[in-house]
Structure 1
Amino acid sequence: MKISFKYISYFLLFILGLSMTLTSCTSDLDVKPTDDDEFLSDDFFQDPASYKQVMAKLYAGLYVGGNDGDGQADISGLGGDFSSYLRLLFVTQEFPTDEAIVAWSDDGLPAINGQKWSPSNQFLYGIFSRAFYEISVANEFLRQTTDEKLTQRGVDAKLKAEVTTLRAEARFLRAFSYVNLMDLFGNVPITTENDPVGYYFPEQKTRAEVFAFVESELKDMDATLAPSGSNEYGRVDKTAAKFLLAQIYLNSKVYTGTERYNDVATICNEIVTGSAYTFANVPYRYLFSADNNRNGAQSEVIFPIVGDGNAIRAIGGGMSFILHASIGGKMVSADQGMDGGWSGIRTRPEFVQLFPDVNAASDKRGTFFTDGQTLDIADYGVFSNGYAVTKFTNVNSDGSKAQRPDMPDTDFPMYRLSDVYLMYAEATLRGASSGNMTLALEYVNKIRARANAGLITNSELTLDFLLDERGRELFWECHRRTDLIRFGKFTGSSKIWQWKGGVKNGSGTDSFRDLMPIPSRTIQANPTLKQNPGY
């Protein structure tokens, strides 16, 4: 089933009132109250249903940009469609890499295509603001759900127990945002429920300090998160926290200068052997179909961002953005289960060349549309330049129609078990003492067997192969920029792709671009923030 409580409040005009203004970093990012005299946060939480409603707001914020899909925008100065969390993650994790390029000329997008962004880029402001908005909602929820507050409101023991789990989920979603901020921007402020509400300048922390905070949070919340596989579909559990912990350990050398590969292998082994999640023995395409919440693919999805064509009115957000934007040229939108295309996103030739062919004959993951498309991208502003991608679809795995063609049912698999396999293999190759090379090879070949790709030998399992394999297995799942940085391939000249550096044949870029700049609008609002070097 889809997440059951989302219907309660995806379209609820959820108000926490004046005290919910996001002032942790800037004064102009506000929740939009319709009547701030009536809906004050203390009053709102008198209703026992409010706790799940706030959590629905937090989860919905990963997909939509406001209380009414793309409307009622959460963030001042950005439309709801432009401020969808998933959309902004896709823009920042995919467009600067070999996996994707966008044709549109919106202010800031061409610069992201070519790694030429500046602190004034509106999309960088968007992802920074969206992440801190989610943090502010989580913080207010945690302020309002202390034992003291619950006792004052006369909350019964059963609801108190439920709220304990919800608090852990709020902390996870807050940690998820801090990881994205740490990954993209490096040194950022940390605000929690213990900080004052109102206008103030929070202290900017080092990347290593943000890492330590997230690590501590993820470890501590293990005691109160739902056991693995026991939560409602779409809500996180203990395994999601372990996955995020393994993910930051895998990138620990980038974030802190210290390797943590042994911890990666240990945690990944715990997930594989001790969690409720199992590798989905279904065709690869099932994982990205409209019914991926019930066609067998869901067994390996640890953390989905849930889509639902009837319940979510967000044409410009989430999976609606990814699907609409990737349709154009001679593509028949109905073949993708959609009502039209926006002629935006394709992939670059260097990524296509990671696959043995372009028709998915020798690797089922190579889902490219080539009719009328050129492999070469002479002009990235023309959709027919570059092969289109048909990985995600709003068609059920049996070929039947989804609920509606304008907004997809397809869930976005933010974390899945095959990534755990690949993290284990990489950590083992990088020297984890708790890793096992035989097991690492078995995991990689299990992934390749599902794709009908050829199995590899131990000698072929190298770090360069794993970077390519992560691309083949996880492309367009918002991992590529982080992966390329970890492998030393994002900036510089060791890996070149078309339009890297803003030139057709690609060029090396400066290493300072491994970090995005702190948005200039944010620094104007909080002048204590220091800009990243190079900007």
Structure 2
Amino acid sequence: MKMNYINKLILIIPALLLISCHDDLDQKPIDPDSFTETDVFVNATEAKGALAKLYASLALTGQQGATGQPDITGIDEGTSQYSRMLFNLNELTTDNAVVGWGDPGLPNLHALSWGASNDFITAMYFRLGQEVSFCNSFIENSQSLTDAEVEFYIAEARFLRAFTYYNLIDFYANVPLSTKVSTSLPEQSTRTELFNFVESELLEIQERLKESGTNEYGRVDRVAAWALLSKLYLNAEVWTGENRYTDAVTYAKKTINSTYSIHTTDANGNGNAYDDLFLADNDANGAQEEFIFTLNFDGNSSRTYGGTSFLIHAAIGGSMDPSLYGINGGWEGLRTTKALVNKFDYAISNSENGDPIAWEDNRAMFYTQDQNLEINTIANTFSDGYAVTKFTNIDSNGDAGSDQGGDFADTDLPIIRLAEIYLNYAEAVLRGGSGGDLQTATAYINELRERAFGGSSNGNISSSDLTLDFIIDERARELYWEGQRRTDLIRYQLFTTNTYLWPFKGDIQSGTGVEAYKTIFPIPSNIILTNENLTQNTGY
């Protein structure tokens, strides 16, 4: 059963933002109070409604369906949705995606040429800041309730706050740490201080969250804390300068040994179950066994122009038939580059000019008809670059999602799934983390690859094949368009350097390196102007 956000949206927590809000800002989070704190926190039932808002703030955009009463003003409401911003900042900036739209600031993301006033970088900062303020208010106001179930709610709110700070560390590095509702301008914290906070929070709440697999679908349990710790420790050397790969192994193992499992068999008993993960019924077709933390969407009751509705619509254009993907039309925007396509090296069919058009690896979910592998022009040229068909609004029976108009998708978006933790384990072992071994890591990778190859061992590797170079490419094959790529490339020192190039990196068709400071986004310029306690990140 999907967690139903829509009936809970009016139970709004009064928000004091991570940053200061002023009327003259181009963008600002707003506080559409509908009930007082007394109303919201009168009992555990009402508190659960407020908890739903914390989850919904990452999935949806406001108080009135897809549009109307937005949480953040000054930017198109659908654009401001968290996972759409995650795609823009962590996928569109890499080899995984280009977009043909010319919205101010959007082409700069793939070109790696943004500045501190970029609308999309600013929108993500506000979205994350608002989530922190919602969580802080919930944690503070729910302390008065004595119901034992509320203790789980508080632990979940603390997880969501830690997850939000994980994002802030990744994107902006040095931002204020705010754990209390306050009217004063916050002081700036260092990346290491923020890292330590996230680590301590997750360690403290891990046993306060519900046991593995016992929470309702759409809400996190203690495995989510372990999984996020594995992600945090894997990036520790980049973010703090300290090697924490042994800890990454430890928490990856705890996650892997939980009740979650890799979804390997589809409804027809076939080994090719990878596409089940991205179908409209992925909350019930077995894929949910792999999902540790998801954003839930429903075409009728939780609508947004972000989320998977964005991932599906924006990736359809040209000669593609939208009805085959369960929607009413394509937005003709998103494609991928040959750098991603060429990582799928098990081509079984090629076009007349030698470009791959079919693969033995079923994760290569590309539409190639009338599409060019080579990108000559990004803007307004949907045919340049293969289209990606990974996300659809079709269920396991081939039926379209619940929105009869075809505008909004039912497909949930996995933010953390077990396959990523398999890859975390393997990478941490290869980087020297103790407590794991190469043979086990190889077995985990082969489990993923057997699913990718339809239950066949044709793509299996040996331990000697398992290298860091292999893992970064395997992460691309397994996790593309799931909001991971920029973070991965930075960890491998490939994001800004000339070591690895992709089409139009640095706004050059053949690709070029860019300034090293681009591994961190700027703190939005309007935030710097309104809070004298903040110093801009280097280079901006």
Q: Structure 1 CA distance, aligned partners of 2:369 and 2:29?
A: 46
Relative to structure 2, which stretch is displaced further, 512-521 or 524-533? Answer: 524-533
Contact 1:325 1:345 in 2 (8 A): yes
Q: Structure 1 CA distance, aligned partners of 2:127 and 2:447?
A: 37
Relative to structure 2, which stretch is displaced further, 49-58 or 81-90? Answer: 49-58
Per the TM alignment, residue 78 of structure 1 is displaced from its structure 2 partner at its CA by 2.5
Matches within 5 A, 1:283-302: 283-302=273-292
TM-score (structure 2 length as normaliser)? 0.92
Name which of 179, 184, 191 aligns with 1:192: 179
Contact 1:63 1:305 in 2 (8 A): yes
Contact 1:102 1:344 in 2 (8 A): yes
Q: Which residue of 2 aligns with 1:445?
A: 446
1:231 lines up with 2:215 in the alignment: yes
Q: Which residue of 1 aligns with 2:196?
A: 212
Query: Secondary structure of 1:189's partner?
Result: coil
Give the aligned length.
512
Q: Which residue of 1 aligns with 2:478?
A: 473
Encode CA deviations 1:235-276: one digit per residue, 9 max, x unaligned: 001000110011010000001000111111111111112x11
Contact 1:65 1:79 in 2 (8 A): no
Amino acid of the residue matched to residue 284 of structure 1? Y
Per the TM alignment, residue 400 of structure 1 is displaced from its structure 2 partner at its CA by 2.2
Matches within 5 A, 1:121-520: 121-146=118-143, 149-150=144-145, 160-193=147-180, 196-198=181-183, 200-273=184-257, 275-282=258-265, 283-314=273-304, 316-356=305-345, 357=347, 358-381=356-379, 382-404=381-403, 405-452=406-453, 454-520=459-525
Q: Which residue of 2 aligns with 1:22?
A: 17
Amino acid of the residue matched to residue 447 of structure 1? L
Q: Structure 2 CA distance, aligned partners of 1:94 and 1:422?
A: 18
Instruction: Let me know the Cα RMSD of the aligned residues.
Output: 1.5
1:67 lines up with 2:66 in the alignment: no
Alignment gaps of 5+ in structure 1: 151-156
Q: Structure 2 CA distance, aligned partners of 1:23 and 1:183?
A: 16
Q: Which residue of 1 aligns with 2:351?
A: none
Q: Which residue of 1 aligns with 2:2?
A: 2
Amino acid of the residue matched to residue 388 of structure 2? V
Name which of 83, 86, 99 aligns with 1:86: 83
Q: Structure 2 CA distance, aligned partners of 1:94 and 1:197?
A: 34
Q: Structure 2 CA distance, aligned partners of 1:234 and 1:117?
A: 34
Per the TM alignment, residue 48 of structure 1 is displaced from its structure 2 partner at its CA by 4.7
Q: Structure 2 CA distance, aligned partners of 1:345 and 1:414?
A: 20
Contact 1:253 1:259 in 2 (8 A): yes
**Alpha carbons of structure 1 residues 305 and 15: separation in structure 2 relative to 1, 3 Å:** closer
Q: Structure 2 CA distance, aligned partners of 1:47 and 1:228?
A: 26
Contact 2:32 2:71 in 1 (8 A): no
Q: Structure 2 CA distance, aligned partners of 1:115 and 1:361?
A: 31
Q: Structure 1 CA distance, aligned partners of 2:444 and 2:193?
A: 33
Alignment gaps of 5+ in structure 2: 266-272, 348-355
Per the TM alignment, residue 290 of structure 1 is displaced from its structure 2 partner at its CA by 0.7
Contact 2:18 2:129 in 1 (8 A): no
Q: Structure 2 CA distance, aligned partners of 1:16 and 1:419?
A: 33
Amino acid of the residue matched to residue 94 of structure 1? E
TM-score (structure 1 length as normaliser)? 0.93
Encode CA deviations 1:6-40: one digit per residue, 9 max, x unaligned: 3432xx433445xx3426444453434366xxx33
Contact 1:360 1:367 in 2 (8 A): no
Per the TM alignment, residue 312 of structure 1 is displaced from its structure 2 partner at its CA by 1.2
Contact 1:336 1:393 in 2 (8 A): yes
1:531 lines up with 2:516 in the alignment: no
Give percent identity, aligned residues only.
Answer: 45
4+ residue segments displaced more than 6 Å: none
Q: Structure 1 CA distance, aligned partners of 2:97 and 2:447?
A: 26
Per the TM alignment, residue 460 of structure 1 is displaced from its structure 2 partner at its CA by 1.2
1:111 lines up with 2:108 in the alignment: yes
Query: Secondary structure of 1:482's partner?
Result: helix
Query: Secondary structure of 2:284's partner?
Result: coil
Per the TM alignment, residue 505 of structure 1 is displaced from its structure 2 partner at its CA by 1.3
Contact 1:25 1:189 in 2 (8 A): no
